[in-house]
């Protein structure tokens, strides 16, 4: 699983309005020929990223390459079960990557288009956001 080695702040504030804007940075395919791009906002956990990576690796085998373009750097806290109200914020539980519409999350290279399309369509089931397959122009 992907985890940050070191974080500046252990606990972050929850965002007030997460559904704001579209991706401006990672919105193009830069490395591979095929990509998986998000169409909605959301948080993708490190476990979900790992499960998508496994699906894509199963199709690539030794012939191709995979790039993971997102990284889970946002800590999400959680309080224990049956803890009464109050008592402060819970301890960090897991990490998520914030996804905006248009973010290229994964890229692939070195396999035929039909195999890549099949792999990415299976990978989309593992994600909590709507996504689609794209090709480099």
% residues pLDDT > 70 (the chain): 99
* Nearest-angstrom CA–CA distance, 135 and 128: 22
pTM, two decimals, is 0.91
The CATH number assigned to the domain holding 120 equals 3.90.1170.10
Q: How many domains does the chain have?
A: 1
Convert the pLDDT of each residue in 41-78 to its tens digit: 999 999 999 999 999 999 888 888 999 999 999 999 99
| Mean pLDDT in residue range 25-45 | 94
Residue 84 inside a domain? The answer is no
pLDDT tens-digit profile of 85-134?
999 999 999 999 999 999 999 999 999 999 999 999 999 999 999 999 99
Cα(126)–Cα(103) distance, integer angstroms: 16
Indicate whether 9 belongs to any domain. Answer: no
């Amino acid at each position: 699983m992907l985890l940050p080695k070191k974080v500046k702040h252990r606990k972050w504030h929850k965002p007030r309005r997460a559904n704001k804007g579209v991706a401006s940075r990672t919105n193009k395919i830069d490395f591979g020929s095929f990509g998986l791009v998000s169409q909605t906002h959301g948080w993708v956990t490190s476990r979900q990223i790992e499960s998508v990576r496994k699906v894509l690796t199963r199709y690539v085998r030794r012939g191709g390459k995979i790039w993971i373009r997102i990284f889970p750097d946002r800590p999400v806290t959680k309080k224990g079960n049956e803890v009464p109200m109050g008592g402060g914020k819970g301890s960090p539980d897991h990490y998520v990557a914030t996804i905006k519409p248009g973010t290229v999350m994964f890229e692939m290279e070195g396999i035929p288009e039909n195999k890549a399309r099949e792999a990415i369509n299976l990978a989309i089931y593992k994600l909590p956001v709507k996504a689609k397959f794209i090709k480099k122009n």
